[in-house]
Amino acid sequence: MSTIDNLPPLRDVISRHELRAKKQLGQNFLLDLNLTAKIARQAGDLTQCDVLEIGPGPGGLTRGLLAEGARHVLAIEKDSRALPALAEIAAAYPNRLTVMQGDALKIDPLPHLTPPIRIAANLPYNIGTELLIRWLTPPEWPPFWDSLTLMFQKEVAERITARPGSKAYGRLALLAQWRCEARIAMMLPPEAFVPAPKVHSAVVHLTALPQPRHPADPAVLSRVTAAAFNQRRKMLRASLRGLHPDIEPLLESVGIAPTARAEEIGLQQFCALATALKQAGPGASR
């Protein structure tokens, strides 16, 4: 295995620091540094960027990001056992790596980052979707980050990038694609990780658009898509009945057949419906 820096191979690092993977921390490590460099390259030119990495573990992707030239990496890791290995990387790349120990769900990274900011991570599977939803729903748009380069289980990656009409299409696709360009950048087999998970994985790349593709109030859009996809087999006139007493004419006013089902409806139509609902107000109470 070739190395991308002068640091020891990751297998040695793991055995020296006794970093046996823990399932409850979602630990599936990437040990091939050529692969981690390839993943880092999916994030684009990092030389002028700060990179936020969640869950660096023994630091395979961290090394990839630094070797690819990231201006600065802020890495947040919950497992204190990884800190000595990460300190060795910080020493090899002076002033370019900051490690914070703690729960990424509880730490606000913003005070420690300078724009432009990109996020790159092989996410712990148990908090990956929660973090993604947080990053996709900031109080203001555009968000604090320019792009996200994230490893997910293949099935989650497909839900993020799904198009109408497919089984994977739902709220996550709409949320991601409303204000981002989202695509699967790489597929990885279970054997790419140690230990090998049961499922295939994929790297998803999301780029924040300067503004939403179609105007809509985020809270109303969220309510509409929740109601529509929580009962995805039902016709929209039934699943959305609770949103407005005149839902059928409202659906028709934006060109949606009241008998259609959620998975047939594209982003533009959901946004138009959210806007029509907002304009219509609460309507007569039922």
* CB of residue 126 to ligand SAM, shortest distance in Å: 7
Q: What whole-number distance in Å separates Cα of residue 274 and Cα of residue 257?
A: 15
Q: How far is 149 from 138, CA to CA, in rounded Å? A: 17
Binding mask of the shown chain, residues 107 to 146, with x at each position contacting ligand SAM by CB under 6 A: ---------------x-x--x-------------------
| The token pair that represents 141 in the structure block | 């748009």
Nearer to ligand SAM, 89 or 172 (CB): 89
Token representation of residue 132: 């993604």
28 is in an annotated binding site: yes
Of 22 and 163, nearer to ligand SAM (C-beta) is 22
Beta-carbon contacts of 189 under 8 Å, excluding residues fewer than 6 positions away, are: 200
From the CA atom positions of the chain, what is the Rg in Å?
A: 21
CB 30 within 8 A of CB 122: yes
Phi, psi for 202 (deg, rounded to 5): -150, 145
Check whether 50 is labelled as a binding-site residue: no
Give the residue, chosen from 7, 13, 14, 27, that forms a contact with ligand SAM under the rule CB under 6 A.
27
Q: In terms of C-beta density within 10 A (0-12 exposed, 13-18 middle, 19 or more buried), how is residue 184 classed?
A: middle
Number of residues that bind ligand SAM (CB under 6 A): 23
Residue 201 interacts with ligand SAM (CB under 6 A): yes or no: no
Under the binding rule (CB under 6 A), the answer on residue 28 touching ligand SAM is: yes
Task: Please indicate if the annotation marks 103 as binding a ligand.
Answer: yes
Contact map string, positions 44 to 73, toward ligand SAM, x by CB under 6 A: ----------xxxx--xx------------
Task: Please name the residues in contact with 43: beta carbons below 8 A apart, sequence gap of 6 or more.
Answer: 51, 65, 68, 118, 120, 147, 149, 205
What mask of x and - would describe binding to ligand SAM in positions 151 to 180, judged by CB under 6 A?
Answer: ------------------------------
Q: Is 34 flagged in the annotation as binding? A: no
DSSP assignment string, 183-226: EEEEEE-GGGEES--SS-EEEEEEEE-SS-SS---HHHHHHHHH
Shortest distance, position 205 Cβ to ligand SAM, whole Å: 16
77 annotated to bind ligand: yes
Check the annotation: does 181 bind a ligand. Answer: no
Which CB atom, from 13 or from 221, has the smaller least distance to ligand SAM? 13
Shortest separation between residue 46's beta carbon and ligand SAM, angstroms: 16
Residues 6+ apart with CB under 8 A from 104: 54, 55, 76, 78, 127, 131
Are the C-beta atoms of 195 and 26 separated by less than 8 Å? no
26 touching ligand SAM, by CB under 6 A:
yes
| Residues at the contact surface with ligand SAM, assessed by CB under 6 A | 25-30, 54-57, 60-61, 76-79, 82, 103-105, 122, 124, 127
- Binding site for S-adenosyl-L-methionine, residues? 28, 30, 55, 77, 103, 122
